[in-house]
Chain A
Amino acid sequence: MVDDGLHNEDTEAPVGLEQVTTAQSIFSDIKLFEGLSNEEVREMVRACELVSFEPGDTLFEQGDEADALFIVGQGELEVVAQSTLGEKVVLAVLGAGTVVGEMSLIQGGPRSATVESVSESEVFRLDHDTFEEMRKQQSPAAYKIILGLAATVGERRRETDARIQEVFSDPASHIDSFESQLHEMLGRMRKS
């Protein structure tokens, strides 16, 4: 086992049993943990730490090393990225029970977007190193998660290839869309 319980980073105080129970019910509804037994879900809850954020706080920034997965316990987060012209683009709004940065468990590399808190939020943080330790100990829960992530990565890769293939297999029907993208981009460049 990697940790005795949940800790709030701000206060360093252990989180109460009630919050552990709440966390377990949130985790049980998450697709990433769907193959896990109740005991394995508890193991994952215990491996997390609970972190509180104020509105405007940043969980991580685009380009940061991906070193943890986050699960929203309560509150709302925004996933934002910067366009090539430096504009802030909101990619998604994440509510309770959503997972962000799950690929950090199996691959490092830079974060592709910034995540900010837009309200008072409580977020469960599963550190990459903690997960690696579970993997070294051959935790069945960790390996079920890796297998689930492998399935997700495999699906995404197939969808990505299909998207590229679609553009080139019917070029005439995609010319207009790429022309518009180019004009928009040139327009923004002129403005800036």
Chain B
Amino acid sequence: MSMSREDVEHYCSVLEATPVFEEFAASELEELVEACERKRLASREALWAVGSAGKAAYILIDGRIEETRRLPPDGQRVDQVNQPGSLLGLASLVKKWDRETAASALEQTELLCLPRQSFEELFERGHSAAYRLVDEIAGQLVEEMRDANRRLHEVFGSPAETLRTLRRRVRKA
């Protein structure tokens, strides 16, 4: 969906008041918004499904998104995102990984979609908005890695407990 000048100004004014984007210069924000596409979802409409190819990240403008993540072996985490300026699916800007989460709208929702290719163009040009997104991405991925290491330690660092769990599972099967 293409954007008019008014749309760009509107999105910039929404984003400049948000924590992630408040330090962006007006021109940086404008270039970032111009690199994005507008996306609107109806209530309950999926933004992406588990296993779909991640080709873009999203910036929430208005509405509410629920993101569900499976945590091995049996856990699940559900996050609701409703703050304008929140970033979703950032890892897709790094690599074409398949989505590991499902995301859908809980109400009518408006987002900006930043395709990986547009991000790469900004990055290649040394655009500071792209660098700031890289800072966000690195922070998020490091946190995810810490969580995964904690789970790994629980499983392989406590063999007695893991053995009990495995035996329970075999009995149940």
Contacts of B126 in A (CB 8 A): 138, 140
CB contact under 8 A between A178 and B162, given known A150-B94, A156-B145, A165-B73: yes
Query: Chain B interface secondary structure, helix, strand, loop or mixed?
Result: helix
Contact of A164 among B72, B135, B160 (CB under 8 A): B72
Contact of A147 among B123, B128, B148, B173 (CB under 8 A): B123
Please tell me if the beta carbons of A167 and B145 are within 8 angstroms of each other in the complex.
Answer: no
Please tell me if the beta carbons of A167 and B94 are within 8 angstroms of each other in the complex.
Answer: no
B44 in the interface, Cβ–Cβ < 8 Å? no
Contacts of A172 in B (CB 8 A): 166, 170, 173
- Choose the segment among A8-16, A44-52, A85-93, A179-187 that binds chain B (4+ C-beta atoms closer than 8 Å): A179-187
Number of interface residues of A (CB under 8 A): 35
Contacts of B123 in A (CB 8 A): 143, 147
- Choose the segment among B4-12, B16-24, B79-87, B149-157 that binds chain A (4+ C-beta atoms closer than 8 Å): B149-157
Which residues of A does B touch, CB under 8 Å?
A: 84, 103, 106-107, 135, 138, 140, 143, 146-147, 149-151, 153-154, 156-158, 160-161, 163-165, 167-169, 171-172, 174-175, 178-179, 181-182, 185
16 A-B interface contacts by CB (under 8 A): A107-B142, A150-B138, A153-B141, A154-B94, A157-B141, A157-B145, A157-B148, A165-B73, A167-B162, A168-B169, A169-B73, A171-B165, A171-B173, A174-B166, A175-B163, A178-B162
Which residues of B does A touch, CB under 8 Å?
A: 71-74, 91, 94-95, 97, 100, 123, 126, 128, 130-131, 134-135, 137-138, 141-142, 144-145, 148-149, 151-152, 155, 157, 159-160, 162-163, 165-167, 169-170, 173
